Amino acid sequence: MLDIIRPGDRPYEEVRHVYTATGSPAAVIRPRTSAEVAEALRLARDTGGPLAIRSGGHGISSRATNDGGTVIDLAEMRSVERIDPGDDLVRIGPGARWAEVARSLRPWGLAVSSGDSGGVGVGGLGTTAGIGLLGRAHGLTIDHMVAAEIVTADGQVRTVDAEHDPDLFWAVRGAGANVGIVTAMDFRAARVPRVAHATLQFQVDRPAPFLEAWGATVENAPRELTAFAYLGSGGHAMALIVYAGDDTEAAERAFAPFADLAPLLGQRAVLVPYDAVLVGARGPHYGQQTGHVRNGFAVHLDRPLSERLGTLLGSLPGAMLQVRAVGGAVNDVPADATAFAHRHQNFNVAAMTHAPTSLLDKAWEDVRPALDGLYLSFESAFSPQRLADAFPPPTLHRLREIKRKVDPDNVFHQNFPVA
Ligand SMILES: Cc1cc2nc3c(=O)[nH]c(=O)nc-3n(C[C@H](O)[C@H](O)[C@H](O)COP(=O)(O)OP(=O)(O)OC[C@H]3O[C@@H](n4cnc5c(N)ncnc54)[C@H](O)[C@@H]3O)c2cc1C
């Protein structure tokens, strides 16, 4: 029998909200199997009203809850199993969080690159890209995916891979939310028993020159290294840097140029299993992380872009700028191999603020012309312009063809709808 939680039921308070928003759905259905997901979908379609699909509930777009509708919450589907020890294949449920995944893979010396937050769910991140701290060494999360199980709008449970429903498999890796509910993902994990992990804190009085130098340093680093920088408007910055391997001398050499970028307020480097890099875990959601986010990709953090980003940081109260490295192994994959097509850029930059969206949009309009593409998982709002930035014309065209066949009624229109 389906587990359906309604207002007034004891667990309702724990399941109504997500990380970035509050909600008041009429029903939260918690399936335990793909057959139950299909049943939940049928029920939701028969009932009518808004529908939300939730895995970890950490979506920046806040679309995993609603008011008065149905939420299909995959939190109970969170197993992490090793399918084939010889081939390092693992099967992961969408409701698992990336911290749990990393912990489960650790005894086998394996890792799947995810994002920087352990609290983020497998379903949301694994269907869009997965820009993580093993990215330049091992690629995006979706680049490790070899198969997925998905419930489509007609209620069918399908296993998709390079040979079976290849179009759907292509779409799942970049635009999964548009084509169905992913109920399991098979990944070929990387052998990464330990990583060297550096955390640096800087005093940054002038963000623009810091960003330009940061960009050049990242691009000159060996591809074992991936670095994320977080700049606040108060003159401080933090860096998370991972060297994907346990050669501490090589890691030290790779880390060294970063320490010269600005006066250091703190520094720490440790050799740890990958799961120690991920912060955040499973915890109650109550809309604790509200705010607005805009992002884009860039090939280089050149002077014009760095200056625009520096101006934005100075003009938005309480803003934070996040600069995540991509490139390396991410760009070894052809742009048309997955529905995530951004394979020539070296950085993703995201700005977040609690200031009104009108202020953010105004400031972002000055930055956007210097950017090249967009990651839908770092956008808190949707617009046709953002859709076009996320999916270049050939990708969007192919996605729409697939969408027409697999979801003609546009059931899955919640998150960056391509139709
Ligand atoms: C603190 C924080 C840090 C982050 N850091 C990174 C990072 O470093 N790198 C990175 O790549 N991303 C990062 N993200 C973005 C993250 O990848 C997205 O927000 C992602 O959607 C969250 O996944 P979730 O399962 O928790 O989300 P949910 O809120 O559960 O879902 C988000 C949306 O994804 C879709 N969806 C969810 N599950 C499924 C499914 N099983 N099948 C089909 N569609 C589904 C639905 O449309 C849903 O509305 C971060 C987000 C946060 C909040």
- The pairing of beta strand 110-111 with beta strand 190-191: antiparallel
pLDDT of residue 84: 85
Dist. CA 82–CA 95, nearest whole Å: 17
pLDDT of residue 233: 86
Does residue 60 have its Cβ closer than 6 Å to ligand 1? yes
User: Distance, CA 41 to ligand 1 centroid (Å)?
Assistant: 20
- 172 and 91, same domain (yes or no): yes
Question: Is residue 100 in a domain?
Answer: yes
- 134 and 180, same domain (yes or no): yes
User: Distance, CA 116 to ligand 1 centroid (Å)?
Assistant: 12
pLDDT of residue 290: 87
Report phi then psi at 153, rounded to 5.
Answer: -60, -30
Question: Is residue 13 in a domain?
Answer: yes
Question: Is residue 17 in a domain?
Answer: yes
- 147 and 101, same domain (yes or no): yes
Dist. CA 374–CA 139, nearest whole Å: 17
pLDDT of residue 85: 84
Dist. CA 313–CA 113, nearest whole Å: 29
- 11 and 63, same domain (yes or no): yes
Give how far Cα 4 sits from Cα of 21, 68, 69, 414, Å: 21, 14, 13, 21
Amino acid of residue 191: R
Question: Is residue 206 in a domain?
Answer: no
Residue 335 tokens, joined: 């742009």
Dist. CA 106–CA 109, nearest whole Å: 5
- 105 and 18, same domain (yes or no): no
Range of the domain at 168: 80-191+396-406
pLDDT (tens digit per residue) in 146-186: 999 999 999 999 999 999 999 999 999 999 999 999 999 99
Instruction: For residue 375, give the ligand 1 atom closest to its CA.
Output: 11
- 147 and 68, same domain (yes or no): no
Dist. CA 242–CA 226, nearest whole Å: 5
Question: Is residue 16 in a domain?
Answer: yes
User: Distance, CA 182 to ligand 1 centroid (Å)?
Assistant: 13
In the chain, the number of structural domains is: 2
pLDDT of residue 376: 98
- 65 and 120, same domain (yes or no): no
User: Distance, CA 117 to ligand 1 centroid (Å)?
Assistant: 10
- 52 and 88, same domain (yes or no): no
Question: Is residue 241 in a domain?
Answer: no
Of 28, 73, 117, the residue with max ligand 1 atoms within 8 A of its CB, to mutate for a pocket test, comes to 117
Residue nearest to atom 39 of ligand 1 (CA): 123
Does residue 95 have its Cβ closer than 6 Å to ligand 1? no
User: Distance, CA 251 to ligand 1 centroid (Å)?
Assistant: 30
pLDDT of residue 201: 98
Does residue 118 have its Cβ closer than 6 Å to ligand 1? no
- 51 and 84, same domain (yes or no): no
Q: Concatenated DSSP letters for 251-270?
A: HHHHHHHHHTSS-EEEEEEE
Of 34, 53, 241, the residue with max ligand 1 atoms within 8 A of its CB, to mutate for a pocket test, comes to 53
Instruction: For residue 64, give the ligand 1 atom closest to its CA.
Output: 49
* Helix, strand, or coil (residue 287): coil
pLDDT of residue 283: 85
Element (H, E) at 390: helix 384-390
Smallest CA-to-CA distance from 112 within 86, 152, 136, 144 is with: 144
Amino acid of residue 360: L
Q: Which of 25, 53, 73 is at the close of a domain?
A: 73
User: Distance, CA 73 to ligand 1 centroid (Å)?
Assistant: 13
Give per-residue burial for 322-349: e unless 16+ CB within 10 Å, then b.
Answer: bbbbbbbbbbebeeeebbbbbbebbbbb
pLDDT of residue 281: 77
Dist. CA 112–CA 377, nearest whole Å: 18
Strands (E), 286-407: 292-298, 320-325, 347-353
Does residue 295 have its Cβ closer than 6 Å to ligand 1? no
Does residue 174 have its Cβ closer than 6 Å to ligand 1? no
Give per-residue burial for 196-212: e unless 16+ CB within 10 Å, then b.
Answer: bbbebbbebeebbbbbb
Q: What is the CATH number of the domain that holds 22?
A: 3.30.43.10
Does residue 28 have its Cβ closer than 6 Å to ligand 1? no
- The pairing of beta strand 70-73 with beta strand 27-29: parallel
Of 16, 19, 34, 54, the residue with max ligand 1 atoms within 8 A of its CB, to mutate for a pocket test, comes to 54
Q: Which of 30, 54, 73 is at the close of a domain?
A: 73
Question: Is residue 92 in a domain?
Answer: yes
Instruction: For residue 120, give the ligand 1 atom closest to its CA.
Output: 26
Specify which residues 348 forms β-bridges with. Answer: 297, 324
pLDDT of residue 190: 97
Amino acid of residue 298: A
Rg of the Cα atoms in the chain: 21
Q: Which of 20, 54, 73 is at the close of a domain?
A: 73
Instruction: For residue 141, give the ligand 1 atom closest to its CA.
Output: 11
Helices 357-367 and 303-315 pack at an angle, to 10 degrees, of 160
Residue 406 tokens, joined: 């697999």
- 91 and 170, same domain (yes or no): yes
Amino acid of residue 76: E
Question: Is residue 29 in a domain?
Answer: yes
Q: What is the CATH number of the domain that holds 127?
A: 3.30.465.10
Query: Tokens 């938005």 label which residue?
Result: 316
pLDDT in tens, the chain (419 residues): 999 999 999 999 999 999 999 999 999 999 999 999 999 999 999 999 999 999 999 999 999 999 999 999 999 999 999 998 888 999 999 999 999 999 999 999 999 999 999 999 999 999 999 999 999 999 999 999 999 999 999 999 999 999 999 999 999 999 999 999 999 999 999 999 999 999 999 999 999 999 999 999 999 999 999 999 999 988 999 999 999 999 999 999 999 999 999 999 999 999 999 999 998 878 889 999 888 999 999 999 999 999 999 999 999 988 999 999 999 999 999 999 999 999 999 999 999 999 889 999 999 999 999 999 999 999 999 999 999 999 999 999 999 999 999 999 999 999 999 99
Does residue 78 have its Cβ closer than 6 Å to ligand 1? no
pLDDT of residue 87: 87
- 90 and 63, same domain (yes or no): no
Query: Tokens 């995959």 label which residue?
Result: 74
User: Distance, CA 376 to ligand 1 centroid (Å)?
Assistant: 10
Dist. CA 134–CA 117, nearest whole Å: 13
- 14 and 43, same domain (yes or no): yes
pLDDT of residue 140: 98
Does residue 176 have its Cβ closer than 6 Å to ligand 1? yes
Does residue 31 have its Cβ closer than 6 Å to ligand 1? no
